Structure 1
Amino acid sequence: MLGREQVEHDPDRQETLFQEARQRFGPGQPARPVEQVEAVTRLLAGDDGLAVAARILRQVADETHAAFLAQAPGLYERTGHRLMVNRRNYRTGWRAVGPHLRSPLFALPSGFHPYVQVVAAVGVVGGQASRCGRVTDPYPLLAHLFEVFDAVTAGWEFGGVPVDVDGATLAMRLIGTTRDLRAEMGDDAPPLPPPVRELMRRNNTLAVHDSAGRPIGGINLGGELRPALLT
């Protein structure tokens, strides 16, 4: 079970780290995504870095939800489908409207990119899962991790978003971090959200493509989720 004793925070340092992670990194930078992920991970070392990683994930989850809501009126005008936006289950809405719903993850107002800052933040949380209860509230953090996972994977299945190597890396890191955080919660871990339970009942393999669009492997989300979250 996650410890309840809180650590001291340095708000000024956390704000500096947050802005540095936002401004110094992203798709417009010359370094490859994997190199930027390593740099952001180093930047977010320690308890203040862990708090910033949790803040990044909260902001990405909030901005994703807001972007889905903003698309709803236009979707109804174009398609006649009413988009029901549920933060705990994006799959339902995306299944109804298919590729008419755009993934907001690559154009968030904050500038955080799923393959750079988000991958790094997820890894920081997973690497310090045992300290999350001392640094932040782990329950909304876990919910945000699952929301991002749902937005990523539902886009693959219903939105025509290609499954590339970086996206598969993000999904696998999300699975591992939710596993580790739930393990720290023990018997207090909340129920798994509906999209995860739905994927666990399936055994589909999605093709993973390289930067040129060539298939180079596959990812079976149900096959990855079951051993991670049911044991």
Structure 2
Amino acid sequence: MGFRDRWVDWGNGSGFYNLRVDDVSIQVFRNGFALIILPRYENIESSDLLSHVFRDLYKAISYLYNIGIVVDLDSIKQVNQEYAFNHGYLDDVLRGRPKKARVELDRDARGLFNKLDQKAKAWIDRSYGDLEIETNDLEYARRLLLMPEIIYNLDKKLAPILEELSNQIRLHLEVEERTLSTLEKLSRYIEELRDLQRRPSLFKRILNWFRRWFG
């Protein structure tokens, strides 16, 4: 086959043929499976990702075909992926904090072509220097990219609700203020009546006056 000198032995006769075409690595196993490892795509637009992936997949499959290995296209399955977003500007903010952190997202990771046989997760890493937010989940990557748009739409929905709530609170406070004012006046009247009770002669004259006019 022309590449037997590229055999990587795992021991006991197991291993794989380690092939390479440009930046794409290919591991061919004796059980009929092949693993195509695509390179890290630096500084590309998310809209260009698929074109890069298909270009390199085509390159790898064509290479295998040329050396006599035919790939069953219907059997192609994505097994792993990583998306990385550079957030180096946060390094100063997070100085002194742990250099690595990871969170499990409690759902299956979604790949470009299929669901992965692993749970979705996101983590912080500095393997390439700057702080990066990385994930193995396409949905998390999509949400991270759309975060400004999501926040904007959320603000549009919440703004009228918060304004109405503010108006209701303002109205409630006005009612509370009027109620408090009335209670304060009533408290003063009660105190004045108590003061009159402490002066029996004056209280009796006022009481007789009320009886004469309203009794």
Larger relative helix fraction: 1
TM-score by length of 2: 0.23
TM-score by length of 1: 0.22
Larger relative strand fraction: 2
- Which structure has the larger Rg? 2
